[in-house]
Amino acid sequence: MSGMASDHNNSSREGYIPHYLQREDPFASKLSREADIIAGFYLTIIGILSTLGNGYVIFMSSKRKKKLRPAEIMTVNLAVCDLGISVVGKPFSIISFFSHRWMFGWIGCRWYGWAGFFFGCGSLITMTAVSLDRYLKICHLSYGTWLKRHHAFICLAIIWAYAMFWATVPFAGVGSYAPEPFGTSCTLDWWLAQASVAGQVFVLSILFFCLLLPTAVIVFSYVKIILKVKSSTKEVAHYDTRIQNSHILEMKLTKVAMLICAGFLIAWIPYAVVSVWSAFGRPDSVPIPFSVVPTLLAKSAAMYNPIIYQVIDCKFACCRSGGLKAKSSSKKSRTYTISAHRDSTAMDETQLE
């Protein structure tokens, strides 16, 4: 406890004391035991579904790893990030909710906060890269074709380095990880913004580089894609059949990518809003029970992606079933990375509706 007090001496000098220094035990749950048990069961279900779904995606993709397209490689990386959140982070919070307190001390709190931010940032930056890939493939057909597998691997290295940098910055003394107000989970120390100008710079930097900028790129990419689709039919008609079919496949990839990004942002935006309010609003103005809901919603984001893929891919298969012979499911296992079918029969999927 004294170690944390020294880490946050700026808070004392400025007169603001964050919630985790106001009480003798910052890790005691501020919720009822019944609420903690419900949250624990919720996270257990989310964790199991996320682990099975993303684990299946990674396993099936590994069986055809040499045939994965660049966009598929990026979405497999998204599954790795989601699996990391489920395997590395959720057991800590599940045990703590059932125990009615955080069980792993300050070291475990910092580790949990780092892992959650690292994999969460990796997911968002991966989706940013996917949106740019979709933008190039759909809006700039003549330029998108040069993106190859080795470019995807270079992009992966940049994504992991970017996430590692921002997740590790708090350990350099410019920020920190701290327990949530309800006590049984940990996150970035958003409350540093209440303590000093340096804390405000830290929080604003995190918000801009790890949320606002990636989200702006995603929105820009998909808005341009939607506008481009209106004229894409006439433009693609000038290309041969192979390019036309490839373009239809790219549109399918784009649909899945858009839904994945939408699901991620819907899950995380409420948490981001509450965090920003905690950082820059009136101190301790967010009710503790209210702060739990966005946190639990954000933790469910890792479960959505395999479900989104299965829904879209099954719909695509149904649209094609009338004109194509059924394929053996053992030979054509589907993952949300979307296998590139190279049948000679033309695909009849409508473009983005």
Tens digit of pLDDT for each residue in 126-144? 999 988 888 888 788 766 6
In 3D space, the residue among 264, 269, 232, 246 whose CA is nearest the CA of residue 128 turns out to be 264
For the record, the structure tokens of 248 come out as 């239809």
| Dist CA 91 CA 242 (whole Å) | 48
pLDDT at 315 over 70: no
Tell me how far apart the alpha carbons of residues 79 and 18 are, in angstroms, rounded to a whole number. 35
Q: What percentage of the chain carries pLDDT values higher than 70?
A: 74
pLDDT tier at 307, thresholds 50, 70, 90: confident
pLDDT of 231 strictly over 80: no
Chosen CATH of 33-232+248-319 out of 3.40.50.720, 3.40.50.10890, 1.20.1070.10, 3.40.50.300: 1.20.1070.10
Q: What is the CA radius of gyration of the chain?
A: 22
Which element (helix H / strand E) includes 234?
helix 213-236
Closest of 206, 181, 196, 159 to residue 295, by C-alpha: 181
Q: For residue 345, is pLDDT > 80?
A: no
The token pair at 32 is: 């009822």
Instruction: Give the residue among 236, 257, 240, 259 at the shortest CA–CA distance from 248.
Output: 236
Output the average pLDDT for the chain: 78
Min mean pLDDT across 1-10, 14-23, 42-51, 218-227 is at: 1-10
Contact 196, 109 (CB under 8 A): no
Worst-scoring range by mean pLDDT, 38-42, 112-116, 166-170, 328-332? 328-332
Give the pLDDT mean for 88-115: 94
Element (DSSP H or E) covering residue 306 = helix 301-320
Place of tokens 């049948």: 343
**Report for 53-67, 205-219, 243-257, 261-275: range of highest mean pLDDT:** 205-219
Whole-model pTM: value is 0.79
| Type of residue found at 159 | I
* Per-domain boundaries in the chain: 33-232+248-319
